[in-house]
Amino acid sequence: MAIKADYLGMPLNLDDLDAENLAYFQHCAEHNFHLQQCEGCNLLRYPPTTACPWCMSQNSKWEPVEGKGAVHSYTEVHHAIQPSFKGHTPYLVLLVDLDTQKGRPTEHEALRVVGNLARPDGRLAPPELVRQVGIGTRVRMVFSDVAQGLALPQWTTDEGIAQPAKAWRYPLE
Amino acid sequence: MPLPAEMDASSPKHLRDKYAIVGVGETTYTRGSGMTTRALGTWAVRNAIRDAGLTAAEVDGMLSYQSGDSTFATFIAGDLGIRLDFFMDVFGGGSSTEALIGIAIGVIEAGMCKTVVIFRAMNGYSQVRIGGTGARSAAPVSGDMLHARAYGWQSAGQMFSFTFMRHMYDYGTTPAQVAAVRAAHSTHASNNPKAYYRKRVTVEEVLASRIICKPLHLLDCCVETDNATAIIVTSADRAKDGRHPRVLIRGVVGRCSKPRIDMHYQAGPISTVAGRYAREILWPNAGVGPEDIDVTGSYDAFTFTTMLQLEDYGFCKKGEGGHYVSDGTIRLGGRRPNNTSGGHLCEGYTHGMNMVIENVRQLRHDADDSCPVGPDGKRRHTYDYSEGGCRQVQRCELTANLGWATPGTGSAVVMRRG
């Protein structure tokens, strides 16, 4: 069934034909991250697609995946363009390499999951937390609840694991 | 630089030197054109036809590209009384110019038409803001876009910054090195009366400008302008009768992509861009290498895009792009100037076409700077590159344009003076 929701004042819509995204976000709404696993070659993939980018199989199943990884790259937005984010600057958009399947199928590939730096409750992180995260920071997945059947996966610093001595940050700070 | 002696310039392989650009034209570069994209497009196409010394009856093909923000070939042709044997409006922005030059060659070669005009018309400031602000930024977020826009990750600068930032991490590229691109292009623009921003800026001024999204300062980002641009492609034989020295197309590669085009950040290394793949088509097609090129036109949506492409097309070693763009090489008077018009950072934003137009003029030895015009109507270039002066590169024989859509997709064309 189609979803029409509101997040930070921004309309988020999912069409009722969009089976892949509906299933993905339903798992997120249950705070139980799942990705499609190919039934042909067994590789996981992100974000949802209609076939396997490695073997073209159209058959997949939803598999639970641990939401843990390290920041591969990031941008820190100071000039938001979307009205919904203007009140939240500076905010971080993180590209996170999941530990699961890192370096497969080739050494430079990973399941790279996009999300904001958030507090453990899923709200966007305040500036004092934004300043502490960079490339290499270990993060764990949390969720921003949006509506029935829809939550956004987000990232928060993983306090339960040893962090690198110094995460890499943009040099002019 | 002269062509390498061992290359056979008449080789039919990949149609090398068999097609030419015979006309270029543009409107003014403004903010607030006060007219429709249809009026802008008509103006630029008319200028290109007049530049080529052609009549409307001698143009029988038309291509354009846009992203739902412009008029169509049907209207431009209708307004100018051009009867078409072929036309097509293609979806897309940056990287389209070079790709459409290749398509134009293909349709002429297939016998579908003889002479193709390619145009891009846009009110990139006063209507559909290219930076993504305005109506585009407030639109509902649907379907696949939930994995991006719902995170405040929407504009080109935001989307590309993972790649830019990772290049700094992987190779130690510094903000000051990359800011040198803006400084160089602003120097070039100061000698281009058409440029929207003609003021020279320093590396320090770039770094002192406010942060948009790290690692991009305001002055690392291109200008948004209203304008239209056009170029005309025909066979080298037909081009013999043109008004200008011929500009021959040596080789072309179009919308060449990294794996996972839709999600370039999935396929690593993310600090490598599509030029890594495109160069393996471009240089063999052109029969020359980066060392032979006199002037480059590396797309400058951002300072970083210029640097990344020059590096991955092989103008320097991988990882040394920051050094290459900051050691004087890319400035007028340097070994291989880049975007001598000022490019997207300073002249105006056209999704790539103005940088091809500039290199056509460089190859004609007819850059439209402020140098005096002689009684024969030709400019007397002084090669004095001080502010407000000349911007013609001496003995310009070979150019390379490197177009950019995203880190994952690029196009390129090598042209020579014929």
List, as one string, the DSSP characters of B155-186. Answer: SHHHHHHHHHHHHHHHH---HHHHHHHHHHHH
Q: Average pLDDT in the B170-199 region?
A: 98
Contact state of B268 with A109 under an 8 Å Cβ cutoff: yes
Closest CA to B95 of B75, B74, B120, B76: B120
What is the arrangement of strands in the sheet containing A44-45, beginning at the earlier edge strand? A44-45, A34-38, A60-64
Q: Is A9 on the interface with B (CB under 8 A)?
A: no
Given a cut of 60, whether residue A142 has pLDDT beyond it is yes
For residue B150, give the nearest of A7, A73, A77 by CB distance: A7
DSSP state of A124: B
pLDDT of residue B11: 46
| E-state strands within B18-162 | 19-26, 61-66, 86-91, 115-123, 141-142
Instruction: Compute the average pLDDT of residues A29-45.
Output: 98
User: Cα–Cα distance between A120 and A133 in angstroms, integer?
Assistant: 15
Strand runs (DSSP E) across A17-104, as ranges? 34-38, 44-45, 60-64, 68-77, 91-98
Give the torsion through C-alpha atoms of B231, B234, B237, B239, to 10 deg: -20
CB < 8 Å to A81, chain B: 131-133, 137, 154-155, 158
Region B46-58: what's the mean pLDDT?
98
Angle between helices B353-364 and B96-109 (to 10 degrees): 70
The confidence score (pLDDT) of residue B137 equals: 84
Please, what is the average pLDDT of chain A? Answer: 97
Distance from A84 to chain B by nearest Cα, in Å?
Answer: 8
What is the pLDDT of chain B when averaged over all its residues? 95
Residue B206 with chain A: CB contacts under 8 Å:
none
pLDDT digits (tens, 9 = 90+) for A61-83: 999 999 999 999 999 999 999 99
d(CA A113, CA A106): 17
Interface test with A, best of B128, B133, B141, B146 (most A CBs within 10 A): B146
Q: Do B152 and A116 touch (CB under 8 A)?
A: yes
Candidate from A73, A80, A106 with C-beta closest to B152: A80
Q: Which listed residue (B29, B313, B349, B385) is catalytic?
A: B349
Whether residue B141 and residue A10 make contact (CB cut-off 8 A), yes or no, is yes
ipTM of this complex prediction, to 2 decimal places: 0.98
Question: Measured in whole angstroms, how far is the alpha carbon of residue B42 from the centre of its chain?
Answer: 20
B33 phi, psi to nearest 5 deg: -65, -30
Radius of gyration of chain B (CA): 20
Q: Give the 3-state secondary structure of residue B321.
A: helix
> Is A166 touching B (CB cutoff 8 A)?
no
pLDDT bucket at B377, cuts 50 / 70 / 90:
confident
pLDDT at B191: 98
- Residues B301, B124 contacting (CB under 8 angstroms): no
Residue among B152, B175, B207 whose CB faces A85 most closely:
B152
DSSP code, position B293: -
Are B266 and A112 inside 8 Å of each other by CB?
A: yes
- pLDDT band at residue B266 under the 50/70/90 scheme: confident
Cβ separation A81–B133 shorter than 8 A: yes
Lookup result for tokens 């992203």: B67
What is the spatial distance between Cα B261 and Cα B241, in angstroms, rounded to a whole number?
42
For residue B261, the distance in angstroms to the closest alpha carbon of chain A comes to 11
Q: Is the pLDDT of residue B6 over 60?
A: no
What tens digit of pLDDT does each residue of B108-166 get? 999 999 999 999 999 999 999 988 888 888 889 999 999 999 999 999 999 999 999 99
The pair of three-digit structure tokens given for residue A58, joined into one six-digit string: 């159209």
Yes or no: say if B358 and B297 are a contact pair by the CB < 8 Å rule.
yes
Q: Which residues of B touch A112 (CB under 8 A)?
A: 265-266
A 28-87: CB under 8 A from B: 46-47, 53, 72-85
Q: Is B171 on the interface with A (CB under 8 A)?
A: no
Task: Give the whole-angstrom CA distance, residue B320 versus residue B178.
Answer: 11
Region A15-40: what's the mean pLDDT? 98
| Long-range contact set of residues A56-59: C-beta below 8 Å, sequence gap at least 24 | none
Query: How far apart are alpha carbons B362 and B12 in whole angstroms?
Result: 26
pLDDT in tens, B15-27: 999 999 999 999 9
Say which of B299, B313, B324, B385 is annotated catalytic: B299
- Residues 6 or more apart in contact with residue B35 via CB below 8 angstroms: none
Nearest C-alpha in B relative to A86: B152
Q: Coil, strand, or helix at residue B386?
A: coil
What pLDDT is stored for residue B136 in this prediction? 81
**Closest CB from B141, B161, B267 relative to A12:** B141
In this structure, are strands A68-77 and A91-98 parallel, antiparallel, or unpaired? antiparallel
What integer pLDDT is reported at residue B14 of this predicted model?
A: 72
Q: Is B3 left (phi over 0), alpha (psi -120 to 50) or beta?
A: beta
All residues of chain B having their beta carbon less than 8 Å from the beta carbon of residue A47 are 144, 147, 263
What's the pLDDT tens digit per position in B65-94? 999 999 999 999 999 999 999 999 999 999
Residue B25, min C-alpha distance to chain A (Å): 33
Contact A170 B165 (CB under 8 A): yes
Dump the DSSP string for B257-270: E-SSGGGGGGSS-T
**Per-residue confidence at B261, pLDDT binned at 50, 70, 90?**
confident
Residues B232, B169: Cα–Cα separation, whole Å: 42
Instruction: Pull the structure tokens for residue A4.
Output: 């029409």
The set of residues, in sequence order, having a beta carbon less than 8 Å from that of B405 and lying 6+ positions away, is B92, B93, B94, B95, B96, B255, B411
Residue B349 is among the residues annotated as catalytic for this protein: yes
Count other Cβ atoms within 10 Å, centred on residue A110. 26
Q: Which amino acid is at B229?
A: T
What sign has the CA pseudo-torsion B65, B67, B69, B74? positive
Contact B41, B64 (CB under 8 A): yes
**B 172-211 residues with CB < 8 A to A:** 174-175, 207, 210-211
Instruction: Answer for the pair B332, B396: CB distance below 8 angstroms, yes or no.
Output: no
